[in-house]
Amino acid sequence: MTNALPVLIYTDGSCLRNPDGPGGWSVVLQKGLSQVHTSGFEPNTTNNRMEMMAALSAMRLVRQRELRDPIVIHSDSKYVINGMTEWISGWKRRGWFTSAGKEVLNRDLWEQMHQESQGLRIQWRWVRGHAGHPGNELADQLARTAARQQKAFYKEWDGLSDSQDDLSQAPVKRNGSAIHLDLSLSDQVLAEHVRNALMAAKGKSVRFRQSA
Q: Which member of 13, 23, 24, 83 is catalytic?
A: 13
Nearest to 128 by CA among 189, 208, 184: 184
180 part of the active site: no
Rounded Cα distance, 173 and 132, in Å: 8
93: Cα within 13 Å, side-chain hemisphere: 6
Task: Say if residues 127 and 166 touch (Cβ distance below 8 Å).
Answer: no
Q: Which member of 12, 42, 116, 182 is catalytic?
A: 12
Q: Which member of 23, 40, 76, 116 is catalytic?
A: 76
The three-state secondary structure class of 137 is helix
108 part of the active site: no
140 part of the active site: yes
Rounded Cα distance, 127 and 136, in Å: 8
130 part of the active site: yes
Q: Which member of 66, 101, 119, 130 is catalytic?
A: 130
Q: Which member of 23, 24, 40, 51 is catalytic?
A: 51
Distances (CA, A) of 171 to 12, 138, 161, 163, 182: 17, 13, 18, 16, 6
Q: Which member of 135, 140, 182, 193 is catalytic?
A: 140
166 part of the active site: no
Omega of the bond prior to 22 within 30 degrees of 0, cis? Answer: no
133 part of the active site: no
Nearest to 58 by CA among 40, 85, 78, 45: 40
Q: Which positions are annotated as active-site residues?
A: 12-13, 51, 76, 130, 140
